[in-house]
Amino acid sequence: MRIYAVFGDNAVMIEYSYEHARYCLHKYFRGAHYTKAFGSIAEATAEATDHLWEIAPLNRAIPEFLKPGKIYFANKLPLNTQGE
């Protein structure tokens, strides 16, 4: 089973359906964006999480696991309250 990750300058997403991934890519993702296929959910999540670390503001909390079908917008992630 293939898993698809969608990457953009403003968000990431994990998706099981290539067609839905492409639809969301063009509708919600801004700037440089692309879709990449993976063999497992763990691989897709790891790369998508790394991408979120690159694009998210420093004061945002990055989730450890990304739910398939949900778009994670970098500027809408919860504020990181650790250390306060």
Per-residue confidence (pLDDT) for residue 83, from 0 to 100:
55
Per-residue confidence (pLDDT) for residue 30, from 0 to 100:
85
In a structure prediction context, what are the per-residue pLDDT tens digits for the chain, which is 84 residues long?
Answer: 899 999 999 999 999 999 999 999 889 998 888 999 999 999 999 999 999 999 999 999 999 889 999 999 999 999 987 755
pTM of the entire predicted model: 0.88
Which residue is associated with the tokens 């309250």?
81
Q: Which residues contact 25 (CB under 8 A, 6 or more apart)?
A: 6, 8, 33, 34, 35
Give the DSSP letter string of 17-54.
-HHHHHHHHHHH--SS-EEEEESSHHHHHHHHHHHHHH
